């Protein structure tokens, strides 16, 4: 059997008396697209924030490509190829989709290759069926979740 790209096992996370994640298992193979669905407060963001290194689980294990990891920061997660695009409040409205995707990335060269990032965002979007125009900004959305309530 091939190895999971991501494997979370028995993840438990408490915030004070609130159990946000209770022994959750999640696994995904490379190239798979998953939707994590649940009611408000079900613990979706908490689980993904643990995977992205923002929170540490109280109990449980994470493996990337079959190797155990212990993320202590989002930087650790990024270094293992785990990135997170947060809901709108974590994005910068005046930046384009591609520019938002570069936030937090360490740029070894003096100039950011934004055209290259735009191509990469388009390529990844096409591959996963989530195509977006990487050159548009959040400030002028076209059919984004954020614009919907204003139109409704």
Ligand X SMILES: Nc1ncnc2c1ncn2[C@@H]1O[C@H](COP(=O)(O)OP(=O)(O)OP(=O)(O)O)[C@@H](O)[C@H]1O
Binding site for ligand X (CB under 6 A): 15, 18, 20, 38, 40-46
CB of 85 to ligand X, least distance (A): 14
Contact assessment for residue 9 and residue 31, using Cβ atoms and an 8 Å cutoff? no
How far, in Å, CA of 120 to CA of 71, rounded?
25
Q: Which of ligand X, Mg ion, none lies near 42, with the C-beta cut-off 5 to 8 A by kind?
A: ligand X
Q: Which of Mg ion, ligand X, none lies near 129, with the C-beta cut-off 5 to 8 A by kind?
A: none
- Cβ-based nearer residue to ligand X, 42 or 90: 42
CB of 56 to Mg ion, least distance (A): 18
Partnered with residue 96 across adjacent β-strands are 137
Closest CA to 35 of 133, 129, 148, 137: 129
Q: Which of Mg ion, ligand X, none lies near 142, with the C-beta cut-off 5 to 8 A by kind?
A: none
How far, in Å, CA of 96 to CA of 141, rounded?
10
- Cβ-based nearer residue to ligand X, 13 or 138: 13
Closest CA to 32 of 118, 131, 129, 121: 129
What 3-state DSSP class applies to 118?
helix
- Cβ-based nearer residue to Mg ion, 20 or 117: 20
Site string for Mg ion, 109-128 (x = CB under 5 A): --------------------
Examine residue 45 and tell whether it contacts Mg ion (CB under 5 A). Answer: yes
Closest CA to 4 of 55, 52, 61, 54: 61
Q: Which of Mg ion, ligand X, none lies near 15, with the C-beta cut-off 5 to 8 A by kind?
A: ligand X
What 3-state DSSP class applies to 101?
helix
- Residues at the contact surface with Mg ion, assessed by CB under 5 A: 44-45
């Amino acid at each position: 059997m091939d190895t999971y790209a991501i494997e979370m096992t028995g993840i438990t996370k408490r915030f004070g008396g609130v159990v946000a994640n209770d022994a959750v298992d999640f696994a995904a193979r490379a190239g798979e697209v998953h939707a994590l669905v649940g009611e408000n407060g079900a613990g979706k963001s908490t689980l993904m924030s643990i995977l992205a290194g923002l929170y540490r689980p109280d109990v449980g294990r994470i493996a990337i490509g079959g190797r155990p990891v212990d993320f202590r920061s989002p930087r650790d997660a990024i270094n293992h190829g785990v990135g997170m695009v947060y809901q709108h409040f974590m994005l910068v409205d005046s930046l384009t989709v591609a520019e938002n995707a570069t936030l937090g990335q360490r740029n070894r060269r003096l100039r950011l290759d934004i055209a290259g990032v735009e191509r990469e965002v388009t390529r990844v979007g096409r591959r996963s069926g989530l195509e977006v125009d990487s050159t548009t900004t959040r400030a002028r959305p076209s059919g984004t979740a954020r614009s919907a309530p204003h139109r409704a």
